[in-house]
């Protein structure tokens, strides 16, 4: 893995290979990109819990986990909310997109996500950013995520785990990130999410 940020550490090949070996338990898996974020409670523990819950889902294998980023809240006045921790997870899955979304919502609920306010603070956000081979304008699950290309807090960790990734219809993650810049988005080299054993 390469990154323009020298503080970002690559995902060890041995870890990726170990997780790849688990793919044999899935029949014809698809690749999906999932964004995690939260700005309430113990943010790191919550993100780790979400990673573990994804791995515990039948038909889902976690392949890679990005570094943790600390980011300014998006879509709200500066200083009106605590900062977020964000990360991106790459998975292989046999679940269809709708079922993966349902699982994401269940994980959010397990961590007491409340949906009182648009762009309000939350313990956990689990968003499907992209799903292999699927482009959809379904309002329940638009793929790729309709605002992923505008969000450095999604693009930066996604680029870390998949430098060659593309947002269908928008361009490469690298180019989109270069255009947006990284203002308000910084890697937390002192924090780490573990790949499930």
- Catalytic one of 127, 151, 160, 162: 127
Backbone angles phi, psi at 192, to 5 degrees: -150, 140
**Are the C-beta atoms of 108 and 100 separated by less than 8 Å?**
no
Tokens standing for 12? 């060890």
Burial of 5 (0-12, 13-18, 19+ CB in 10 A): middle
Q: Which of helix, strand or coil describes residue 35? A: strand
- Catalytic one of 125, 182, 186, 188: 125
* Active-site residue, 125 included: yes
Q: Which residues pair with 166 in a beta bridge?
A: 172
- Catalytic one of 61, 92, 122, 151: 122
- Catalytic one of 31, 52, 113, 188: 113
Question: Which residues have a catalytic role annotated?
Answer: 113, 122, 125, 127
């Amino acid at each position: 893995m390469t990154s323009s940020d020298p503080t970002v550490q690559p995902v060890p090949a041995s870890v990726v290979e170990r997780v790849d070996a688990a793919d044999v338990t899935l029949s014809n898996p698809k690749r999906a990109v999932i964004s995690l974020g939260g700005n309430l409670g113990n943010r790191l523990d919550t993100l780790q819990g979400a990673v573990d819950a994804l791995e515990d889902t039948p038909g889902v294998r976690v392949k890679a986990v990005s570094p943790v980023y600390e980011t300014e809240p998006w879509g709200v006045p500066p200083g009106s909310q605590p900062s977020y921790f964000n990360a991106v997870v790459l998975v292989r899955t046999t679940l269809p997109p709708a079922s993966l979304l349902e699982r994401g919502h269940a994980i959010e609920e397990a961590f007491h996500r409340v949906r009182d306010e648009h762009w309000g603070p939350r313990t956990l956000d689990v968003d499907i950013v992209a799903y292999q081979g699927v482009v959809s304008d379904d309002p329940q699950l638009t793929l790729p995520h309709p605002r992923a290309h505008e969000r450095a807090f999604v693009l930066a960790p996604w680029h870390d785990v998949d430098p060659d990734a593309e947002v269908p219809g928008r361009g490469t993650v690298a180019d989109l990130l270069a255009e947006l810049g990284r203002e308000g988005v910084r890697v937390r080299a002192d924090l780490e999410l573990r790949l499930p054993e």
